[in-house]
Amino acid sequence: MQRTLIDKIWDAHVVRDLGDGWVLLHIDRILLHDLSGPGALQDVKARGLKVRNRELVIATPDHAVSSAPGRTGETFAQGARLWAGLKTLSQEAGIRLFDLGQDGQGIVHVMGPELGLVLPGTTLICGDSHTCTNGGLGALAFGVGTSESVHALATQTMRQRKPKRMRIRIDGELGHGVSAKDVILHVIGALGTAAGVEHAIEYSGSTIRSMPIEGRLTICNLSVELGAKSGLIAADDTTFEYIAGRQFAPEGAKFDAAVKHWRTLVSDDDAKFDREVAIDARTIAPTITWGTSPQHAIAIDGRIPDLASEVTSAGRESLVAALEYMGLQPGQPIAGTKIDWVFIGSCTNSRISDLRDAAAIARNRHVADNVTAWVVPGSLRVKRQAEAEGLDRVFIDAGFEWREPGCSMCVAANGERVPPGARAVSTTNRNFVGRQGPRARTHLASPAMAVAAAISGSISDVRRI
Amino acid sequence: MQAFTTVTGRAVPLMRTNIDTDVIIRIERLTAGEPSTLGTYAFEAWRYLPDGTENPDFTPNQPKYRGAPILIAGRNFGCGSSREGAVHALQGMGLRCVIAESFGDIFFGNCFQNGMLPIRLPDENIQTLVAETNVSEVPCTIDLKLLTITTPSGRTIPFTTDPQRREALLEGLDDIGLTLKYEADITKWQTQDRLARPWVWLPT
């Protein structure tokens, strides 16, 4: 029987068949953060249960902590209780914690791969929908709710039904100014945010194969914006090179044995997928969203859709509501739209390669007078690396604020928000109503496109800068 | 967990597609840590005008839908963030059941963890239901035992739900208690895996 990569990882983790298509699935890694972690750990305790395998659980604060220079866990007062709760409860349970200011701290989906904690062929969960990011290393990673986290903490398993399998093949060379972020925004624009519902997605094709790991993490990050449970990319030499030498990665003979095993984790040639889609990467332009769903993605030289493009009444109602919220007119070009804010950061685009891309455009230029612009590195290691390369100076000299690692303005659960009515270009993952703050208007784009907007003061084509 | 058997009451339509959990409950309402007030803030960006008064154009604000236990929504309801508080916020509004063509996967799972029934229904059935509830004061009934929706006109629409999830919801069962019975299976799997994939196992 020919199997997909998803089947291979899944089948290897079945602890017990529960009938009706349900299995008890072993979970190899549980990531905890300050927003959903303390509640889950508290619940485990309140039920008189124990964290079953504390060595497989990793905690770090990112969501509800300030990113202000010199911040502590108490700088954002409303989050202080969560930060302290994660710290105390993790220490009590003997869980590895990477606290603020400590090497390793960062956005969960940035620090996990960076420390070598995320490995191919593993199953990984976190009480965060962007857990799918970690699929970029060939892990089957998915977001869960707090109740399900409690189950995983107490039993190191989850009750699951195998998702349907979808493959998105992306082939061809990327054009000038086109990054992983543009690719995945283009895919979501083409397929819609419900395309992956009930599926796990394997990304393949020559574009993916030639993409470095950080780009693959960006691709997989937005799988949940396709509605998918998970998104993953088969590990290859690029993956093994990335993992080798990282703090928690296997070493020596153990590493060699792991690589031998990881090489078997690819979809068989005749494996059947429930759905297959092919995308030609050569047609992808720098891409940006205009509306309040990630599927509202268009090429930078494109136009905002007109109402005739929606055939159903529910679809039209959503379109009208999105236009009104965003303060935009149907049929207009997106380029040239004046902006107020730029945010570079989040588990989508805050890794060192993202900051290098951004700095390359920002160098010897300056943020427009009407724009406030922030750079929030994804982890303490990313921050230190960027500083060692002088990227912080590039950003500061260009008029950006250089801040401490965390989720910051992507999740706006930390007092850091785009002001009401203001328009932002963000390298984040969600442009939902109120996502970056009440009445905030978000346009999702790549780091390079975000800098292009920051310096010109309006949505701009990075290829023309 | 609260069990779910039958629910009878008004069904309120909110026929936008891709309603995300950020719009269902804003994240800052969750960091504030007061679960009992979440119902007040459900859909706040749509439900209230900038001055804080109720938005009369938001369907659930209409007097006839106030306190309705059933929500009918456009496809891909509950997409986006994993926040379980989205379910708590809907429950705080008095909802017990959401009907849509499809749901965000994590939200769908979170409903079952909290005694809320999400029903997937084909679009044509949803259109029928909406058309009837728009013109009738008669309530709908959702029966999880019989797997039926009784519309205001008395028409019966069948629905399906996963048998194990249905059982757990009918009984108000706790998953963890059930899984702990398989402790020996988990230990056995882990013992074998430590030999097969030693690199996965981090030092304690």
pLDDT tens across A319-341, in order?
A: 899 999 999 999 999 999 999 99
CB proximity A321 to B under 8 Å: yes
Cβ count near B18 (within 10 Å): 29
pLDDT value at A126 more than 90: yes
Say whether pLDDT at A372 is over 80.
yes
Burial annotation A296-325 (CB, 10 A radius, 16+ → b, else e) = bbbbbebebbeeeebeeebbbbbbeebbeb
Query: Which regions in chain B score pLDDT beneath 70?
Result: none
Confidence of residue A102 (pLDDT cuts 50, 70, 90): very high
Is the CB of B160 inside 8 Å of chain A's CB atoms?
no
| Neighboring chain A residues of B23 at a CB cutoff of 8 Å | 432-434
3-class DSSP assignment, residue A370: coil
CA distance A42 to A322: 39
Q: What is the pLDDT of residues A356-371, one digit of tens each?
A: 999 999 999 999 999 9
All structural domains of chain A with their residue ranges: 5-262, 301-464
Model confidence at A1: pLDDT above 80: no
pLDDT of residue A312: 80
Contact A257 B199 (CB under 8 A): yes
Average pLDDT, chain A: 97
Q: What is the CATH number of domain A301-464?
A: 3.30.499.10
pLDDT given for residue A83 in this prediction? 98
A308 has a pLDDT exceeding 90:
no
Asked if A198 and B105 come within 8 Å (Cβ–Cβ), the reply is yes
CB B2 within 8 A of CB B95: no
Q: Is A22 exposed, middle or buried (0-12, 13-18, 19+ CB in 10 A)?
A: middle
B contact test, residue of A132, A224, A239 with most B CBs within 10 A: A224
> What span, in angstroms and rounded, lies between the C-alpha atoms of A142 and A194?
16
pLDDT digits (tens, 9 = 90+) for B22-51: 999 999 999 987 778 899 999 999 999 989
Q: Which residues of A touch B102 (CB under 8 A)?
A: 194, 197-198, 227
Predicted pLDDT of residue A137: 98
Give domain A5-262's CATH superfamily.
Answer: Aconitase, domain 3 (3.30.499.10)
What share of chain A has pLDDT > 70, as a percent?
100
pLDDT score of A317:
82
Closest CB to B82: pick one of A47, A143, A197.
Answer: A143
Cα atoms found within 13 Å of the Cα of residue A266, Cβ hemisphere only:
14
Kind and range of the H or E element at A338? none
Q: Which CA distances in Å does A367 have to A41, A300, A358, A377, A456?
A: 43, 20, 12, 18, 7
A341-344 and A275-280 beta bridge pairing? unpaired
All structural domains of chain B = 6-173 (3.20.19.10)
Tell me the average pLDDT across A391-416. 98
Calculate what percentage of chain A has a pLDDT beyond 90.
Answer: 97
**Contacts with A, B 115-144, CB within 8 Å:** none
Q: ipTM beyond 0.85? A: yes
Q: How far apart are CA B6 and CA A28, in angstroms?
A: 39
The SS3 of residue A247 is coil
State the pLDDT confidence band at A314, using cuts at 50, 70 and 90.
Answer: confident
Which residues between 16 and 55 in chain B have a beta carbon less than 8 angstroms from any beta carbon of chain A?
16-18, 20, 22-23, 26-28, 30-33, 45-46, 50
Contacts of B87 in chain A (CB under 8 A): 145
Q: Is A34 on the interface with B (CB under 8 A)?
A: no
Q: What integer pLDDT is reported at residue B1 of this predicted model?
A: 82
Q: Could you tell me which of A272, A254, A319 has the C-alpha nearest to residue A293?
A: A319
Mean local confidence (pLDDT), A143-155: 97
- Average pLDDT on A238-260 reads 98
